[in-house]
Amino acid sequence: MLIKTSELKKIFTDVLPRATPLEAKHLNTQISGIEKESITASLDSPLSQGLRKIVNDNKSLFTKEAFSLLEETDIYGVAFGSCNSVARVEKKRKQIIIFEGILNLIKLYTDFIKAADVLKNKRGDKKILVDGVLENERDIFSQAVFIIAMDYIKTGEGFVDIGDILPDKERMESESGVMASKIFLLLHELAHLKLGHNKLGGETYFEFNSQELLIKEELNKLQQRELEADRFAFSSINKDIRDMFLSSIICFLGAFSFTETFFGGNNHTHPLAINRMERIANLISFSNDPELEEAKREIIESEKKRFIGLSDLREKYTEDKIGNFNEVMTVNKAHSIISVILHQNWH
């Protein structure tokens, strides 16, 4: 299935977490409109129950404080394709609302990153290559992921699920990575509640210095709070297993970091994902495993390199942001990559 550029525009405002301010405003209106009108979230829905089960089944992963906070919070999973999650207090009940779109994106992205690793190990070369600044296979696969996401929004036929065709080892790694990302997402929203971010004042969790960011940007109060929430979320995971979570969190934020490469950051609500990624990565140092420490640095560096490498392109298309995406890879090409992935002999 191919998508026309004119259609992409509408789809992108629905699917992308990093819309332009104008698009974000439109998206927010759309979402709050839907909340009021037709989306009725229920704690009994399969999505809500699934998220609660993740919490209950993984009690030992959380600090005591985080677990008891989660117990007194209503967790809603909402069957709507928005790539979003929200924390709020309604009628004195603490609520976390997670939309299906972001859960799907996490799974799709994690599966594809694993697939990229398998293909790379198997071939040891780079047959799937496009010209320009997308240099590594992860980038190419990331782009394919977003094409699939767009197809999903457009046709409503559900995601292509490549989880089942991955070799056992990678499939299991992907499953635990997805689980860890969902836990981090829940804890991030929980942090907004705990730190009083829904109020105008709220606590200051740590002193922030914009000079420390990997890519320089001035952050407003809202954006600083995102960094606070990340840090609180990370410290809500039991100390002895935090290092295991790091690669999943990097992968999760990688999906957003990739879209920002083309569309730029949302300079109103969130810091750049690459900055969030780097801040979290800094909370852990693998001092007794130099290889792991090196791998961590390498991922951050390649994200940074890509972001900087595409800055001219972002400047060029200030209005037609879809142009960024199409300039680097046509929709046709992305589809042919998806078909390579699906027809690969994986075992």
**Interaction site with Zn ion (CB under 5 A):** 226, 229
Residue 43 tokens, joined: 């704690």
Give CA–CA dist 125/119, Å, rounded.
9
83 versus 229: smaller Cβ distance to Zn ion: 229
Give CA–CA dist 87/74, Å, rounded.
10
CB of 27 to Zn ion, least distance (A): 15
Question: In angstroms, how far is CA 255 from the centroid of its own chain?
Answer: 5
Residue 41 tokens, joined: 């979230």
CB of 270 to Zn ion, least distance (A): 7
Contact 58, 44 (CB under 8 A): no
CB of 273 to Zn ion, least distance (A): 12
96 versus 310: smaller Cβ distance to Zn ion: 96
Helix ranges restricted to H, 38-167: 46-57, 64-71, 100-123, 137-155
Contact 95, 70 (CB under 8 A): no
CB of 291 to Zn ion, least distance (A): 32
CB of 170 to Zn ion, least distance (A): 30
112 versus 252: smaller Cβ distance to Zn ion: 252
Angle at 278 between CA 273 and CA 284, to 5 degrees: 135
144 versus 195: smaller Cβ distance to Zn ion: 195
148 versus 191: smaller Cβ distance to Zn ion: 191
106 versus 229: smaller Cβ distance to Zn ion: 229
Residues 133-153 as b or e (16 or more Cβ within 10 Å = b): bbeebbbbbbbbbbbbbbbbb
CB of 115 to Zn ion, least distance (A): 29
Q: Three-class SS string for 156-174?
A: CCCCCCCHHHCCHHHHHHH
